[in-house]
Structure 1
Amino acid sequence: MVATTPAIGMSANSDADRRFFFAYTLFIFVTVLVGFVPHSVDLVHAVVVGHLPPIPLAIHIHAIVMGGWIILLLVQAASVATGRTALHRRLGMIAFAWIPLMVLMMVLVARSIWMMVAGLPAGAIPPDVLASTKTLLSNILIEQITAFVLFPLFALWGIAVRRSDPGAHRRLMILATLVILMAAVDRIAVRWLPTTYPASYDAQYIYALLWMAPVLIFDLVRRGRVHRVWVIGLACNLPFFVFNHFMWGSPRWLETAPIIMGLFGVSGWK
C-alpha cells in the first residue's frame, strides 16, 4: 500500500474492484450532501430568525475538516481507479495530520455545543425545549464518544497495514469513515425515514448496517466470504450499541453526561 491515506488503497485486485470502491466512496459523498445540506440550511435559518445563537467558530472548522476527509477519500479512490499512483502517494501524506485534527475537532465541537446551551440566558428558549435539548445532547454524547474511539482506531490501524495488507487497509479506511458518516445518516433518517429517534437510537444502528451492506455484499460476491475487517468492525461496535441501547435516556446517563463534559454543578445546565 502507498503512503498514508484515507483512500481506497492500491491493490492487485481487478479493475472491477477498484471501480466498485470508487463508486462506494461516491455513495458516501452523496450521503454527506443529502444529510448535511438541508440540515445546514435549517440551522442557518434558525440563527437568522433568532431561534439559535450564532454558530460557534469550532462548528465551522469542524465542518471544513470533516468535509475535507470525505473529499480526500473520494479523490484518493478516484486516483486508484484511474491508475494515478503518484498522485495517490502524494495526497496520502495528508492523513498523518488529518486524523488527529479530526479527533480534536470532534471533541471541541461537542464541547462548544454544550457550552453554548449552558450559556443561554434564562428564558431564551421555552423551558420544555431547553430540557429536551439537554436530554438530546446527553444522549448524542454516547455516539460522539463512539466516534472519538473508533474513528482513530480504524483509521490508524488502516495506515499501519497500508503496505502489509492493502485489502485490509482500504476496508479499514472505509470503516473509519462509516463511523463518522453516521452523523449524516442520522439526519437522513430523522428527515425522511422511519426511526425510533429521539426515543432511542436502535433504528439508527439498522440504518448503519444498511449503509454498510454494499461492501459486505461485494465481498461475499467477489470473495465468497466477508472480509475479517468487517467482522472486527462490527465486533468493536457491539459494546457501544449495547451501552447505547440500555443507557439512552436513562436517569443515570443524563446525570453522568454533564460530568463527562465538565458541566457538573454549572448553573446553566441545572
Structure 2
Amino acid sequence: MATVAGAYTKVEPRPDVLSGTPRAHAVDRWIFVFMAAWFIAITLAGFIPDSIMKVGMVRAGARPPFPLVLHMHAVLMGSFLLLLLAQTSLMATGRRELHMRLGILGMALAGALVAVGFVLAPTMYHETWNALQSAPPNARAKLQELLSIKENILLLQIRIGILFPLFLAIGLRARKGNAGLHKRMIILATVMALPAGIDRIPWLPTALPASPVSVDLYTILAVSPMLVWDVIRNHSLHRAYWIWFAVTLPCAVIVNLLWNTPAWHALARQIMAV
C-alpha cells in the first residue's frame, strides 16, 4: 500500500513546455528573419536623421560634399542588409535552393564591403586632416578635436574590418555541415558592422567620444533577441556565441585600453601616413 501511495505522490520533472511545440518551431524559423529586419531598423534609425542633417550642411556650405566612396559604402551595406533579410526569409519559407544560389551574391557583396571600408576610413580621415592644414587659426581647435575623435573611431573601424569578414568566413565554412552555426555566425558577423548606425541614433545615450564602452554594450543588446531565444529554447549558449564572445571580448578590452591614449594617436597617424 505504501508503495502504491508513493507512486501516486512522486513528483515528475516538469517537461519543457517549448520542446516540439508549433510555436517554438515557428520562432526557430522566423527569429533570423526578425534579426535581419531588426538590423535594418537600427541602421535606418541612425542614418536617416544623420544623413538629413549632413545633407543640409552640404547645401549650406558648412561641410564638403560626400566622397564617392561613402556613397559606394552606403549602397553596399544597404544591399547586404536587404540580402540578409531575403536569405533568412527564403530559409524560413523552405526555399533552400534559391537561398544557396543567392549566397554567392552575398559573398561578393561582403568582399566588396570590406574592400570599400578600408578605402573609406582613410578617405574620411584625410578629409579632416587636409581641412586642418589649411584652416584659419580660429577653426583649428575644433578640427583638431574632430581629428582626434576620428583617430579613436579608427579603432572601431579596424575592429569591424577584421571581425566582420572573420565571422562571415566561419559561418560560410559551416554552411554545409553545421546549419545552426552557419546562420548564427552570419548574424553575429553582421552585428559587428552595426555600431556605425547605432552611434548615430540621436536619442540613444552614449559614452562616445569619451569611451567606446557604449558601443560594446549596444552591440550585445542588438544581438540579444536571438541570443535570449537560443538560451530559452536550448537551455545553453550555442557554440556560435562562445566563438563570438571569445573573439570580441579581448578585442573590446584592447580598444578600450587604447582609446584616446597618446600612443594610439601617434600610431593612428602612422597608419594614416600623415
TM-score by length of 1: 0.88
The reply on whether 1:242 has 2:253 as its aligned counterpart is yes
Q: Is the partner of 2:199 in helix, strand or coil?
A: helix
TM superposition shift of 1:217? 0.6
Distance 1:40 1:234 in 2: 32
Match 1:256 to one of 244, 247, 267: 267
* Paired amino acid for 1:244: V
Counterpart AA for 1:123 = P
Counterpart in 2 of 1:149? 162
CA shift for structure 1 position 87: 2.4
Shift of 1:95: 2.2
Task: Give the unaligned 5+ runs of structure 2.
Answer: 1-23
One-letter code of the match for 2:101?
R
Report the counterpart of residue 133 of structure 1 in structure 2: 146
Moved more, 242-251 or 13-22: 13-22
Partner of 1:104: 115
- Counterpart-to-counterpart distance in 2, 1:229 and 1:36: 29
Partner of 1:30: 41
1:184 and 2:197 correspond: yes
**Amino acid of the structure 1 residue aligned with 2:173:** A
Aligned to 1:174, which of 157, 182, 187?
A: 187
- Name segments (4+ residues, structure 1) moved above 4 Å: none
**Aligned AA (1:67):** G
**Aligned-residue CA RMSD in angstroms?**
1.5
Post-superposition offset of 1:173: 0.2
2:77 to 59, 66, 69: 66
Aligned length: 249
Residue 60 of structure 1 aligns to which amino acid in structure 2?
A: H
Shift of 1:246: 1.5
Paired amino acid for 2:172: I
Identical aligned residues as a percent: 35
Who wins on radius of gyration, i.e. which is larger? 2
What TM-score do the two structures reach when normalised by structure 2? 0.87
Q: How many Å separate the matches in 2 of 1:90 and 1:47? A: 41
Distance 2:137 2:58 in 1: 13
Instruction: Give the match for residue 26 of structure 2.
Output: 15
In structure 2, distance between residues paired with 1:148 and 1:124:
35
Which one scores higher on RCO, CA 8 angstroms, separation ≥ 6? 1
Return closer, same or farther for 1:169/1:125 CA change in 2, 3 Å cut-off: farther
Q: Partners of 1:125 and 1:214 in 2: how far apart?
A: 48
Q: Which residue of 1 aligns with 2:136?
A: 123
Residue pair 2:152, 2:259 contacting (<8 A) in 1 also: yes
Q: Counterpart in 1 of 2:58? A: 47
Match of 2:20 in 1: none
